[in-house]
Amino acid sequence: MRIKNVKNALEKIELSEYIIKDPFKNKGKFNKLFNNKNPINIEIGMGKGDFLIKSAIKYPNINFIGIEKYDNVIVRAVEKLESIKLDNLKLIKTDAQNIEDIFLNEINLIYLNFSDPWPKDRWAKRRLTSSNFLDKYESIFLKNKNIIMKTDNRKLFEFSIVSFVDKKYKINSISLDLSKDNEIDNIETEYEKKYKELGFPIYKIDVYK
For 122-144, the pLDDT digits (tens) are 999 999 999 999 999 999 999 89
Domains (range + CATH), the chain: 9-208 (3.40.50.150)
Range 103-119 average pLDDT: 96
pLDDT of 207 over the 60 cut: yes
pLDDT for residue 194 is more than 70: yes
CA-CA-CA-CA torsion sign (22, 135, 169, 174): positive
- pLDDT over 80 at 170, yes or no: yes
In whole numbers, what is the pLDDT of the chain averaged over residues?
92
Q: For position 2, what pLDDT does the model report?
A: 47
For residue 148, what pLDDT is reported?
98
Report the alpha-carbon distance of residue 108 to residue 120 in Å, rounded.
Answer: 31
Which band of pLDDT confidence, cut at 50, 70 and 90, is reported for residue 3? low
The residue that leads in pLDDT, 66 or 191, is: 66
- Which pLDDT score is estimated for 203? 96
Is the pLDDT confidence value at 182 over 80? no
Whether 116 sits among the annotated catalytic residues: the reply is yes
pLDDT at 198: 86
Residue 45's pLDDT is what?
Answer: 95
- Whether 70 contacts 109, CB under 8 Å: no
Helix (H, G, I), strand (E, B) or coil at 196: helix
- 90, 150 contact by CB (below 8 A): no
DSSP reduced 3-state for 162: helix
pLDDT of residue 185: 84
d(CA 26, CA 102): 7
The confidence band for 6, taking pLDDT boundaries of 50, 70 and 90, is low
Per annotation, catalytic residue among 71, 101, 116, 206: 116
- The pLDDT confidence band at residue 193, using thresholds 50, 70 and 90, is confident
Using 50, 70 and 90 to split pLDDT, how confident is the model at 10?
Answer: confident
d(CA 116, CA 44): 11
